[in-house]
């Protein structure tokens, strides 16, 4: 009987250990994905591209946006949806790419010693749901404020409505902010 009890206990322990290992693997995969996402939130070059609806827009790998903040601050949850466009470690100034006026670029210090890129004094952000330069899915208003694509050279004559259930409290967005 004792041997049977020990086998059952060992089996129970092995089962529990297997569950713990699977759970740990999921946590590690999640951490790796977060690390990969964080690694992609740096850029040093800001340039322009053409968008059918907005015209010439600002990009840094992907489309960038500015924020007219609401009373709800953009903290950790917000920054997962709206990552700051920050310079890579060791880089002190952003580079003006094609179509960008270098004098309009700047930086602002953020927590952890990172430098966020600004354009015309406004901090720049990416939208998590944009996958490429020129794609504009984040021209919306959510609980953190009004997010606007940066339009270069002419006013954003078009307006767009946008809603994204992932951002929470989304409502209609308007045209981009022009420089």
Q: Residue 164 pLDDT more than 60?
A: no
Residue 170 tokens read as: 């989304």
Stronger pLDDT, 125 or 7, i.e. the higher one:
125
Buried b (16+ CB within 10 A) or exposed e, 68-102: eeeeeebeeebeebbbbbbbeeeeeebbbbebbee
Question: Which residue from 133, 138, 175 is spatially nearest to 45, judged by alpha carbons?
Answer: 133
Provide the H-helix boundaries in 102-150: none
Q: What is the mean pLDDT of residues 132-137?
A: 96
pTM of the model: 0.68
Between these two residues, 126 and 21, which has the higher pLDDT value? 126
Contact 66, 123 (CB under 8 A): yes
H helical segments located in the chain = 2-39, 76-81
Mean pLDDT, residues 39-44: 68
Position 39 scores a pLDDT of 40
CA-nearest of 57, 114, 62, 122 to 86 is: 114
In this prediction, residue 83 has a pLDDT band, given cuts at 50, 70 and 90, of very high
Mean pLDDT along residues 66-77: 96
């Amino acid at each position: 009987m004792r041997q049977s009890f020990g086998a059952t206990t060992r089996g129970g322990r092995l089962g529990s250990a297997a569950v713990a290992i699977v759970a740990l693997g999921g946590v590690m995969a999640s951490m790796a994905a977060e690390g990969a996402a964080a690694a992609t939130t740096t850029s040093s070059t800001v340039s322009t591209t053409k968008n059918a609806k907005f015209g010439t827009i600002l990009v840094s790998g992907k489309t960038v946006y500015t924020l007219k903040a609401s009373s709800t601050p953009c903290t950790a949850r917000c920054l997962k949806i709206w990552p700051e466009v920050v310079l890579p470690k060791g880089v002190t100034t952003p580079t003006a790419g094609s179509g960008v006026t270098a004098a309009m670029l700047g930086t602002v210090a953020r927590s952890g010693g990172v430098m966020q890129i600004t354009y015309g004094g406004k901090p720049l952000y990416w939208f998590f749901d944009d996958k490429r330069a020129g794609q504009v899915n984040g021209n919306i208003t959510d609980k953190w404020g009004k997010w606007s694509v940066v339009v270069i050279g002419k006013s954003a004559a078009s307006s767009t409505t946008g809603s994204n259930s992932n951002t929470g409290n989304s409502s209609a967005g308007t045209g981009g902010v022009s420089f």
